[in-house]
Amino acid sequence: MRIGSRIRSEVLRMALGLVLVGLLAAIPASAYANPLESLGRGVLNIIKAPAEIPIAVVNGSKDVNPFYGIFVGPFAGVARGATRAIAGVVEIVAAPIPGTDEPMYDYPLGTSVFEEDSRSLVFRY
């Protein structure tokens, strides 16, 4: 019985490997994004997330007044930084998944998803 169960497990392993290879072969080559590019974007978004706080303070100070920048800027910076960091984590997790080559958060530092131009709606008059 031991020899039969060993052969059976080897056959099952081989069948599973063939199924996986068949599934990977069924995905068109154009669906493969460069996973290293997506991984790099995610890591950079996580690294750049804390920089959103001082940038929001400076932008608020320039656009409205220094007190506004000092008291409201950190909250806007934390919101932007959290958004950027979460997008970075999602990009890292989704890097090996085919078809996820579009950037999730492709905004320069100091800008966010909710903007019409280069300044946040928080800092509008």
The size of the chain, in residues, is: 125
pLDDT digits (tens, 9 = 90+) for 52-109: 999 999 988 888 888 888 998 899 899 999 999 999 999 899 888 877 777 777 777 7
**Distance separating alpha carbons of residues 57 and 121, to the nearest angstrom:** 14
**Distance separating alpha carbons of residues 41 and 98, to the nearest angstrom:** 16
pTM, entire model: 0.62
pLDDT digits (tens, 9 = 90+) for 1-32: 566 676 777 777 776 766 666 555 555 544 55
CB of 94 within 8 A of CB of 108?
no
Q: For 35, list phi and psi in degrees, rounded to 5.
A: -65, -30
Domain boundaries, the chain: 1-31, 32-123
CB of 76 within 8 A of CB of 105?
no
Q: Amino acid identity, residue 88?
A: G
